[in-house]
Amino acid sequence: MSVRPALAKLNHSDVRQRRRAVRHLFELNDPEALNGFEKLLDDPDPWFREKALEAIEKWAASKDLVLIEKLSQSRDNTRRLLAARIAIRAGGAGQIILDKLSSDDEPNIRLAAWKARINSDESSIAEAIVVEDRAVRRAVAQRVSSLERVDSNIILQLLSDESETVRASAIGIIEGDSSTQNEQIENRLNELIAESSGEVKARIASILLASSPNRIDSWIRDSDTAFVNRFSRSLRDTDWTSIEGLPDTLKSNASEMLLIRLLRGERSESGTILRDDLLSDDSRSEEMRSQLIEDLIGRPISETTLSIVNNLAKSDLELISSSANNLLAEQ
């Protein structure tokens, strides 16, 4: 059955014939069928009305501007939402429709309209970034993250947003492209890190590490699990053992949790020396020293480390001696 006979059956008195015609028209996937579906928008049967909307979303094009305008002016939220999703197909006239829908009373329609605007016209970003709707500003952050070149002023605005999600998205943009940084952004990041915690704080610290390595003292003392997990990964990625003076700084000031995470599986000379120093330091907690030993099980260890472990196997501290003996049993 071609398009014409199938379209004719949309008016059949038998509802089963009409439904079969609808399914067949979708299978044919011919945009010429759209005119027939437009009439179904007013069908008393909700199934046919739903299929009409599906057909419009599937086939509507620039020539269907009148139809898109009709949908955008409907009292039905579903129809206005559809208009917001497809208006861009109508070119400049579609932009006018989107401008109106971006101030719709329904949040999801506003968001769809703004998304369409910022995805099709980068100049809309500056307007969208200051709207009251937080979801729209989050959409801006997502859009900006996909751009090849990003205006640093936009990033600064995102970093200053009241929404933590928006600020986190801005941090992600900087993580992906360090060239977006400038003095203003760095100053804002320094403000943010003072009021942040956990993973967000770790992400900011990782960005600032390159430009403000002297500030690491204040970060490595943090024993928050989320912070330590993220920041330890960042330090590993930057090859922390090769940063001049950092192993000594970590030894003096880092939280025990961070030291454990950094040294787990670390086989560099600097890392080995730091581990040996910590294992030999009786002022360190029994739990940390025990964990450092446990993390060596199944891994090659140096003669110096093995000698230290042999001594610790005789320790009066049960956790340490037990871990040391477990390791020696594996050698």
- Report the distance separating Cα 136 and Cα 140, nearest Å: 6
Distance from C-alpha of 25 to C-alpha of 10, rounded to nearest angstrom: 10
226/277 same-domain check:
no
Containing domain of residue 157, as a range? 122-177
Residue 179 has pLDDT above 60, yes or no: yes
Token code pair at residue 26: 């979708």
pLDDT at 1: 56
Place of tokens 């610290």: 205
Please state the rounded mean pLDDT for residues 303-314: 95
Two tokens, residue 25: 């028209």
Each residue of 313-323: pLDDT tens digit?
Answer: 999 999 999 99
Q: How far is CA 235 from CA 180, 182, 191, 214, in A?
A: 21, 22, 22, 14
Tell me whether residue 110 is in a domain.
no
Residue 309 pLDDT grade (very low, low, confident, very high; cuts 50, 70, 90): very high
CA distance 198 to 172: 15
One domain, residues 239 and 286: no
Q: Examine the domain organization and report whether 279 and 319 are in the same domain.
A: yes
CA distance 18 to 37: 11
Where among 263, 287, 320 does a domain terminate? 263
Task: Among 215, 239, 263, give the residue marking a domain's end.
Answer: 263
What are the angstrom distances between the C-alpha of 82 and each of 51, 97, 101, 284, 301?
13, 12, 11, 64, 64
R_g of the chain, CA atoms, integer Å: 31
State the pLDDT at residue 273: 95
Neighbours of 29 (CB within 10 A): 9
Token pair in block for residue 328: 């020696």
pLDDT in tens, 23-70: 999 999 999 999 999 999 999 999 999 999 999 999 999 999 999 999
In a domain, 239, yes or no: yes
Instruction: Determine the longest span between alpha carbons in the chain, in angstroms.
Output: 94
Each residue's pLDDT tens digit, 10-26: 989 999 999 999 999 99
